[in-house]
Amino acid sequence: MIRVVLPAHLRTLAHVTGEVEVHVEGQATQRAVLDAIEARYPALRGTIRDHRTLQRRPYVRFFACEQDLSHQPPDTPLPSEVTAGAEPFLVVGAMAGG
Amino acid sequence: MAGVRVLVGTRKGAFVLTSDERRERWQVSDPLFAGWEIYHLAGSPADPSRLYAAQSTGWFGQLIQRSDDGGATWEPAGNQFEYAGVPGTHQWYDGTPHPWEFARVWHLEPSWTDPDTVYAGVEDAALFRSTDGAQTWHELPGLREHGSGSSWQPGAGGMCLHTIVVDPTDPKRIFVAISAAGVFRTDDAGVTWRPVTRGLLSEGIPDQEAEVGHCVHRIAMHPSRPNVLFMQKHWDVMRSDDAGESWREVSGNLPSDFGFPIAVHAQEPDTVYVVPIKSDSEHFPPEGKLRVYRSRTGGEEWEALTRGLPQRDCYVNVLRDAMAVDSLDSCGVYFGTTGGQVYASADSGDSWAPIVRDLPAVLSVEVQTLP
């Protein structure tokens, strides 16, 4: 199981509290985790990635193990701590504004 | 007992204000969609329990919410707005070609007769329609592709399709307004479109009488008289008596003919309301006095409505979608401000009182008159 921390607005949309867990077949990557999240919570489609291009939205960031994974190619394997469930994969609304 | 439900979209959520038909005591809901920009909420004329809301943020994009119980509960609906085909380019602020890019939904317009049919006006300007209760959206590309689209330019707020007026006697006839392209009409349910701008005069464009390029802020129609349209343009209040074929200025004695919203009285098709704003660079009421102006003559002759409205030190704006009327007798008139006040008049504008004073900046106000 992959642990995922969603930002507050997306937890509200998905009707969840706290962390969520998703199961990923095969290699755990950003793409696989986000596919699993969107399949389980269809209301989140288009909020993290563009519907058509699947590009990360500009003010969304992906963190794990104190690293910014946002700019990694989406098929890069996630850190072993994330795939082992020891660390969560964080979807973060970027700091912006004043 | 009859009542009124006022749907208020703000910069940080939506609010539902309710009252009985006396419109003296109001309940203000807790924020809905707290923290999100709610550009617009609208109820179906055919089923007042069916509501739609356009919810967005710069972080997480566009969502559409739908309620089937008058706003008590909401569920996310479809939020995929894909332009049809290869969308091409329009002009950017610097005159260079810029790819069409979806930014947000500005306005939702439910059908007069079918609760599941709803139109969405979006930025970058295009018209979408859903016939399945907002689950899926399809562009009506004839508007964007009618010929002038590549020359459209954004207004200061973006290139938005912000006004959708459907003829209640002929659902194939639809008017839309785009900043800063103008007003367009279809007579075949959105397949083909043409600009209907003859008579508009705009100083901010090189050819002041050009067919496209006018910054139309809002159009209003009385449902009993669908060939008569009233328009608040960037500057000028305009009127058409022939379904947009020609327009004439009816600004008359207004202290300023710049403004954003325009509305028509529910029972009197020649009674029109505007909120004059000082200028395009100073978006607040002239002299710091918040005044609604009413014409009972279909334009030209306007009277200031001030009772209950602040008459000093007031520097709020009233945005294009932030004024509406109910259909009770006598007509209720409502508007919201960028300062977070929602004012109501239960006597056609003669007197006003705030329903609520301290909301986030108000983006839109719609009213449902409930049986």
Q: What average pLDDT does the structure give for chain B?
A: 96
Report yes or no on A10 lying in a domain: yes
B2, pLDDT greater than 90 = no
In chain B, what percentage of residues exceed pLDDT 70?
Answer: 100
User: Do A91 and A11 form a contact (C-beta atoms < 8 A)?
Assistant: no
Contact check, Cβ <8 Å, B59/A46 = no
Can you give the pLDDT at residue A63? Answer: 97
Query: Which residues from chain B sit within 8 angstroms of residue A48, using beta carbons?
Result: 60
pLDDT of residue A97: 61
Give a yes or no: residue A61 inside a domain: yes
Structural contact between residues B242 and B228, judged by C-beta atoms closer than 8 angstroms: no
**C-alpha dihedral (A88, A93, A94, A98), degrees to nearest 10:** -140
Q: What is the pTM of this model?
A: 0.96
> Residue B104 is encoded by which pair of tokens?
């947000």
Question: Is the pLDDT assigned to residue B86 strictly greater than 80?
Answer: yes
Chain A residues whose beta carbon lies within 8 Å of the beta carbon of residue B80? 45-46, 51-52
Chain B positions with Cβ closer than 8 Å to A: 35-36, 57-63, 76, 79-80, 82
State which residues form the domain around A48.
Answer: 2-93
Instruction: Report the alpha-carbon distance of residue B106 to residue A12 in Å, rounded.
Output: 23
DSSP strand pairing (A89-93 vs A60-64): antiparallel
Q: Which residue out of B33, B59, B104 would a mutagenesis test of the A interface target, given it has the greatest number of A Cβ atoms within 10 Å?
A: B59
The contacts of residue B122 (CB under 8 Å, 6+ apart) are: B81, B102, B103, B104, B105, B106, B128, B160, B161
Number of helices (H), then strands (E), in chain B? 0, 30
At residue B3, does pLDDT exceed 70?
yes
Each residue's pLDDT, cut to its tens digit, for chain A (98 residues) gives 999 999 999 999 999 999 999 999 999 999 999 999 999 999 999 999 999 999 999 999 999 999 999 999 999 999 999 999 999 999 999 887 65
In a domain, A40, yes or no: yes
Contacts of B35 in chain A (CB under 8 A): 9
- Write out chain B residues lying below 8 Å of A45, CB-based: 79-80
Using a pLDDT cut of 90, give the percent of chain B over it: 93
Say if residues B110 and B42 touch (Cβ distance below 8 Å): yes
Please judge whether B76 and A43 are an interchain contact, meaning their C-beta atoms are less than 8 angstroms apart: yes
A48 touches chain B (CB under 8 A): yes
Residue A84, in any domain of the structure: yes
Instruction: State whether residue A53 is helix, strand or coil.
Output: coil
Q: Do A45 and B63 touch (CB under 8 A)?
A: no
pLDDT of B369 over the 80 cut:
yes
Task: Give residue-wise pLDDT tens across range B250-306.
Answer: 999 999 999 999 999 999 999 999 999 999 999 999 999 999 999 999 999 999 999
In a domain, residue A57? The reply is yes
Q: A98 in a domain, yes or no?
A: no
Please give the residue that has the higher pLDDT: either B180 or B287: B287
Q: Answer yes or no: is the ipTM higher than 0.90.
A: yes
Q: What are phi and psi of B344, to 5 degrees?
A: -135, 145
Q: Does residue A13 sit within a domain? A: yes
Judge: A43–B63 Cβ closer than 8 Å, yes or no: yes
pLDDT for residue B1: 58
A26 within some domain: yes
Between B94 and B12, whose confidence is greater?
B12
User: Which residue is listed with tokens 């006004």?
Assistant: B163
Please tell me the total count of domains within chain A. Answer: 1
- pLDDT tens digits for range A33-52: 999 999 999 999 999 999 99
B59-335, CATH topology level = Methylamine Dehydrogenase; Chain H (2.130.10)
The 10s digit of each residue's pLDDT in B10-38 is 999 999 999 999 999 999 999 999 999 99
Q: Report which of B69, B41, B71 is spatially closest to residue B53, judged by C-alpha positions.
A: B41
* Chain A residues in contact with B58 (beta carbon < 8 A): 59, 96
Supply the CATH number for residue A9's domain: 3.10.20.30
- Cis check: omega of the bond before B34, within 30 degrees of 0: no
Quick check: B59 and A13 CB within 8 A? no
